[in-house]
A = this chain, B = another copy of it.
Amino acid sequence: MGGRTYRLTLCYDGTRYRGWQRLPNCALTVQGKIEEALSGIFGMPIEVSGSGRTDAGVHAKGQVASFHAPELPIGDIVPKLRHLLPEDIGVTDLSYAPERFHARLCAARKTYRYRVWNSVTPDVFERRFRAQLPQPLDVAKMREAAKLLEGKHDFLGFCANKHFKKSSARTLYALTIEQDGNELRFTLTADGFLYHMARILVGTLLEIGGGRRELGTIAEIFEKKNRALAGETAPAKGLCLMEVRYE
């Protein structure tokens, strides 16, 4: 078909969604909402490809999606799209992309952020975007552990999908931990993330920080590639897809 390839940048509060990926039976998904709005604007079914599937309850500040559609002025589409989308999905940017641009296949690296509220006092305003953990955490020890996770590894032991067939080698370019008052921010940048990988990495670090796990277990998880040896999956609501980079 003729038309154009579009690149769409989105933010969303994932609280009430079953995740990014469209599901049957009208389940509430971010992809579903966007396709519905775009199909209305273009008057034909539009399918969008996200850079990746965020899980139920995970947020995004910089999710990227691509789609093919007839050529319409960008300045006409954006206000309509903003009008049609619910208030928890925001359009950050829309542009024409090279014809063969594909948000998932062309993604070179992604950055996720995980926010922990490390206090007994709840913070009602950010409660949807941070996991609360009242126990004291040894941040220096978590930073040591983060160093062991960085680099190119087979991350199968940090993947919740047991039947993962393709290569599970990924390069974790950086895993940093910032402390800002009672908030801890884990920032993870990699060339790709396996299913639940970001949340299992954070969950494992939190167990180390809480003194419930030894540093040495990390080498063991890498070696045995057994997800059962890694930490608990950290709650979805603390995670946010911050940025997707393309070459």
Contacts and interface: CB of A to CB of B under 8 A. Distances in A.
Interface residues of A, number: 21
A87 B125 CA distance: 10
A227 to B, nearest CB: 30
A72 B30 CA distance: 48
Interface in A83-113: 87-92
Contacts of A11: 123-125
A82 B121 CA distance: 8
Interface string A118-135: 001111110101000000
A114 interface: no
Given A82-B122, A121-B92, A122-B82, A87 B129 contact: no
Contacts of A121: 90-92
A90 B124 contact: yes
A144 to B, nearest CB: 32
Interface string A8-30: 00011100000000000000000
Which among A82, A90, A91, A122 has the greatest number of chain B C-beta atoms within 10 A?
Answer: A122
A59 interface: yes
A124 B91 contact: no
Contacts of A127: 13, 87-88
Contacts of A120: 79, 82
16 contacts: A11-B123, A11-B124, A11-B125, A13-B124, A61-B125, A79-B120, A87-B122, A87-B124, A88-B124, A88-B127, A89-B124, A90-B121, A90-B122, A90-B123, A91-B121, A91-B122
Interface of A: 11-13, 59, 61, 79, 82, 87-92, 120-125, 127, 129
Given A59-B125, A88-B124, A125-B129, 14 more contacts: A11-B123, A11-B124, A12-B124, A13-B124, A13-B125, A79-B120, A87-B124, A88-B127, A89-B124, A90-B121, A90-B122, A90-B123, A91-B121, A91-B122
